A = this chain, B = another copy of it.
Amino acid sequence: MTSARSTRNGTPGEGVSRSASARAPERGIPEATIARLPVYLRALITLSERGIATCSSEELATAAGVNSAKLRKDLSYLGSYGTRGVGYDVEYLRYQIAREIGVTQDWPVVIVGIGNLGHALANYSGFSSRGFRIVALLDSDPARLGEKLGDMRIRGFDEIETLVEELDIAIGVIATPAVSAQDVCDRLVAAGVTSILNFAPTVLNVPAGVDVRKVDLSIELQILAYHEQRKALAFDGAVDIVEPPVDPRVVESA
């Protein structure tokens, strides 16, 4: 499983090579925080594009849609990049977050399964501006091979091993039907891919050391449906279904 360890694109310089000296803020950042860093990064980019050079935690928090205390605590895990009484330098903080996430350089990405969804992803320009470069489009359907999409061509899934090695690909996107997803996943992992974004509605089994994230639209809709149903019920019949049960003391007289 140690095929593609190479050097990858390790963030250069910037004091990580020390073993255990000076201040070392980058110990363990909570998952919940990591999931929000990209949101902060995006908010900072927006502010930057508007020509704003400095912002307070309050402003940034509003732009990111979170509580300002949470934002400050999140940022404090990265280090102390603000100035009390002033706020944060937008460009500086933007760079620090990008560096922490690891998107100061581009990550090469392969997409497997160029059907409905795969086409949309391949045509999407938003990835390249956010630290990713789609470098390969793979499909197993012979009818699709050779089809051009932008400046790329759909290639056979069999090329996966060669491509992963040659292009040093660490991240793969699965957009095949659910039945093929586990097979594709196994093959990706065997080829050396260690991070997978899965669009197929299946649970993927992967060995330790491989990260999987899933994007499941049906689940998102079902979560919305649950809450929607509750709202409807709150109007219709039982009123006290959302609110706390209202202390009986209040109605003692009746």
Contacts and interface: CB of A to CB of B under 8 A. Distances in A.
A231 interface: yes
Contacts of A124: 116-117, 217
Given A126-B218, A232-B8, A34 B223 contact: yes
A38 interface: yes
A225 interface: yes
A228 interface: yes
A100 B197 CA distance: 29
A17 interface: yes
A195 B227 contact: yes
A221 B132 contact: yes
Interface string A186-209: 000000001111000101010001
B20 A248 contact: yes
A203 B39 contact: yes
Contact of A34 (B216, B226, B235, B236): B226
A226 B37 contact: yes
A152 interface: no
Interface stretch (A51-59, A101-109, A140-148, A153-161): A101-109
Interface of A: 5, 7-11, 16-20, 24, 26-27, 34-35, 37-39, 41-43, 63-65, 100-103, 107, 109, 116-117, 119-121, 123-124, 126-127, 130-132, 170-171, 194-197, 201, 203, 205, 209, 211, 213, 215-229, 231-233, 235-241, 245-246, 248, 251
